Amino acid sequence: MTTASRGLQQCFHRLGYRFVLGVDEAGRGPLAGPVVAAAVMLSPEVSLAGVNDSKALSSARREELFSLIIGSSSAYGIGMASPAEIDAVNILQATFLAMIRAVNRTCIFPDLVVVDGRQRLPFPLCQYPLVKGDSRCQTVAAASIVAKVVRDRIMRFYHGRYPRYGFARHQGYGTAVHRRAVHLYGLSPIHRRSFKLKEPKRG
């Protein structure tokens, strides 16, 4: 099984960065629900077999690794931006907001924040944006798993409140089943009204 590398993290430590946080998000693309971010710190000697980009893992495997990551982490934090916040500021800015909240909730002051993607977060901490960081750096991969598991659990909770939309099945993504439910029942309180919620084409 592929495992994200510890090499970059060890390199950061050799350069003098002692407290290194990996940060990633889950839920930028769905039509409903929050965007969730996680920040994770792992000691350089920690090696977690199977930790990789959350999208490359099954739901069951993510749940297994979630417990392992939380138990092995030196610190972690989770942040969210609500559908209302997404509608108010756009999904990119809401993602930044969730990531900053996740970093702040680790209750540490990191020497370096490794962010998945090309863009820096709008706050004054030392950062290293890393394209495909969730498959190249163990701490970022760990954050991607934590964010995805937490968001999936949230969407299962919302499925219990709004079962006719099928959130447990598609986690709010724009599947044909989801779009058809929106057409039939209208928007739920957790739908992102700034997103395009068109009825699927009928075959």
Asked if residue 141 belongs to a domain, the reply is yes
The answer to whether residue 177 is domain-embedded is: no
Asked if residue 84 is part of any domain, the answer here is yes
- Average pLDDT over every residue of 16-24: 92
Residue 98 or 15, more confident: 98
Q: Has residue 24 been placed in a domain?
A: yes
CA distance 23 to 146: 10
Domain assignment of residue 78, yes or no: yes
Evaluate if residue 83 carries a pLDDT over 90.
yes
Report pLDDT for 14: 81
Mean pLDDT across 77-94: 98
Q: What is the pLDDT averaged over residues 9-35?
A: 91
Question: How does residue 179 score in pLDDT terms, banded at 50, 70 and 90?
Answer: very high
As a whole number of angstroms, the distance between CA 66 and CA 53 comes to 13
Q: Give 32's strand partners.
A: 191
Which CA distances in Å does 75 have to 21, 72, 81, 174?
Answer: 9, 9, 21, 34
Residue 127: helix, strand or coil by DSSP? strand
Question: What is the domain extent for residue 35?
Answer: 7-161
Highest mean pLDDT among 44-48, 64-68, 131-135: 64-68
pLDDT in tens, 147-168: 999 999 999 999 999 999 999 9
0.75 exceeded by pTM: yes
Number of domains in the chain: 1
Residue pLDDT, tens place only, 122-132: 999 999 999 98
